[in-house]
Chains A and B, each alone.
Chain A
Amino acid sequence: MTRASSRAQIHGWLLLLPAAVLLALFTHYPVLATLWHSFHSTPRGSRPADWVGLENYRALVEDPVFWQVLGNNLWFAAGTIPASIALAMLMAIWVNGKITGRGFLRLAYFVPTVLPMIAVANIWLFFYTPTYGLLEQFTVGLLGLPSHNWLGTKSTVLSCLMVVTIWKEAGFFMIFYLAALQAIPPSLGEAAAIEGAGRWYCFRRVTFPLLMPTTLFVLVNAVINSFRLVDHIVVMTRGGPDNASSLLLYYIYDVGFKFWDSAYASALTMVLLAILAAAAILQFALLERRIHYQ
């Protein structure tokens, strides 16, 4: 059946066709259409869309909100990715070893993953509420610190959202590390122990390098997620105050579905697509070199 007979040709294409049509319609076409519409003006009322060339991109470069949102997103990525990866690794190593209450620990770490982000955001919104929230009850009630509006202050709001994201993602990434750890033969650790290596040394020289492919996989996922997940912003801050907590995709949502400026939203989407494409190329480049230790 593997000979390239004309029947095999037809069967292959027929099997692929339904998925290919839907993928083309909802993934490939939208990418091209976004590019096309980003060179046009937004149709308003009876006025159709006109070709405006790079006008939308010029507006983008001159839009201070765009730069602020892009900066926010980079800070957000820089703040959430290393922290959630490090925590995930730590969790996995703890849960993989012999530790008291392993089942409970595993459950506690993983539970945020199965909850909807929107539900989680509601819970955290309550957690951060001034005066009544658990955080304020602790900082004001127990430690006697002055009250602080965590989500209403420009300097703290983004960090608060980062905490939520780290909390939500670390347990998810833990799973991949757990799978990788279980694939490492225990003899390697034993050999290191016989040589008199300490646990930290063993981690640095044996475990950590062996986890490298997993780290790469998790890293790419984390990068995509940091540009894709904005559910909690809708619930917790709506990008405020003063766009201090707005991320790129949330800004696209604002421009596209609150101001209904679809042309400018298309130009913004192109920036997001470029970032995701860069992540993809980076992944392929790294995979080419194959991080392998045997």
Chain B
Amino acid sequence: MTRALETIGAWLLAILWILPLAYAFWTAFHPPEFATRFDLSAPLTLQNFANAWNAAPFARYFVNTVLLVTLILGAQLVLATLAAYAFARYEFYGRDVMFALVLVQLMIMPDVLIVENYRTMAALNLTDTIAAIGLPYVASAFGIFLLRQTFKTIPRELDEAARVEGAGPLRVLWEVYVPLSRPVYIAYALVSVSYHWNNFLWPLIVTNTVGSRPLTVGLQVFSSSDQGIDWSIITAATLMTSGPLLVAFLLFQRQFVQSFMRAGIR
């Protein structure tokens, strides 16, 4: 009895949870006159997507976002790998202090330091570039922490064996530590990509032309100024910008969930 009630409750909650999304899908795939009218005979159309695509430089926004996400991830992985290796396997003066200083970023993220970071970018003459969006996030405390924990679980014997064969520190890192930590790298990559694909406030502040704006900012500019309130086109644009992540999520659901789990357990 309670089981049945719980199942009903779980389903009601789930339906409630996808309702806003389902509504957006309905509006985006039907002609504007059906945007707020539910009629099963309403014809399906892709016209809204075509209109949105032609009304703003979304192709350029896509390129910017893909570039941004790739550059950030690449740089984050390199920097975090090196730093994590230092913290996990080297003893040097000030290591514990440095580690504590790294962890500060877990609490005080670049997201809240917008005023000063904007000042820095202006001083470096970098405003309105993709580099300016990414730079504050490139050294990631979260990545360093995650990889350090992983590297610490790798048996030292493997490390020492490689060194006996004459491998230098970087080769040991590349041939022993990195391959053995692959699941953690994948987990971190998924979390990082979805974070930066979705990031909004900082890119909004630091960019002001089409050439550097990522999708999220482009979508906001598009839906707040270019359109009146044509909800069909706005929802189409909205689904378009979240589309790649949504499709990736549906295809790799298990990896996504496991990655978020792995990244969360400390």
Contact = CB atoms under 8 A, between A and B. Distances in A.
Contacts of B266: 217
Interface string B215-257: 1100110011000010100110011011001100110010011
Interface in A225-257: 227-228, 230-231, 234-235, 249, 252-253, 256-257
Interface string A173-193: 001101100000000000000
Contacts of B17: 108-109, 111-112, 167, 171
B110 to A, nearest CB: 6
A262 B119 contact: yes
Nearest to B25: A123
Interface residues of B, number: 95
B235 to A, nearest CB: 6
Contact of B110 (A19, A20, A27, A224): A27
Nearest to B262: A179
Given A116-B197, A118-B200, A126-B24, A228 B112 contact: yes
Interface stretch (B2-10, B40-48, B54-62, B178-186): B2-10
A91 B257 CA distance: 14
Nearest to B172: A1
Q: Is the interface of A mostly helix, strand, loop or mixed?
A: helix
Interface string A88-117: 001100110001110011111111111111
Interface string B62-102: 00000000000000001110110111011111010010011
Q: Is the interface of B mostly helix, strand, loop or mixed?
A: helix
B249 A279 contact: no
B245 A106 contact: no
Interface stretch (A8-16, A50-58, A69-77, A151-159): A8-16
B98 A20 contact: yes
A139 interface: no
A207 interface: no
Given A16-B82, A27-B105, A127-B23, A119 B238 contact: yes
Contacts, number: 270
Contact of A1 (B105, B159, B200): B159
A15 B78 CA distance: 10
Given A22-B139, A116-B216, A227 B112 contact: yes
A225 to B, nearest CB: 10
A210 interface: no
Interface residues of A, number: 93
Given A25-B120, A30-B120, A37-B116, A15 B82 contact: yes
Interface in B107-163: 107-120, 135-136, 138-139, 141, 144, 159-160, 163
A199 B2 CA distance: 10
B219 A118 contact: yes
B50 interface: no
Interface of B: 2, 6-7, 9-11, 13-15, 17-21, 23-24, 27, 35-36, 78-80, 82-83, 85-87, 89-93, 95, 98, 101-102, 104-105, 107-120, 135-136, 138-139, 141, 144, 159-160, 163, 169, 194, 197-198, 200-201, 204-205, 215-216, 219-220, 223-224, 229, 231, 234-235, 238-239, 241-242, 245-246, 249-250, 253, 256-257, 260-261, 264-266
15 contacts: A1-B89, A11-B90, A12-B90, A20-B102, A21-B139, A108-B17, A114-B249, A119-B238, A119-B241, A122-B235, A234-B200, A234-B220, A235-B220, A253-B205, A279-B107
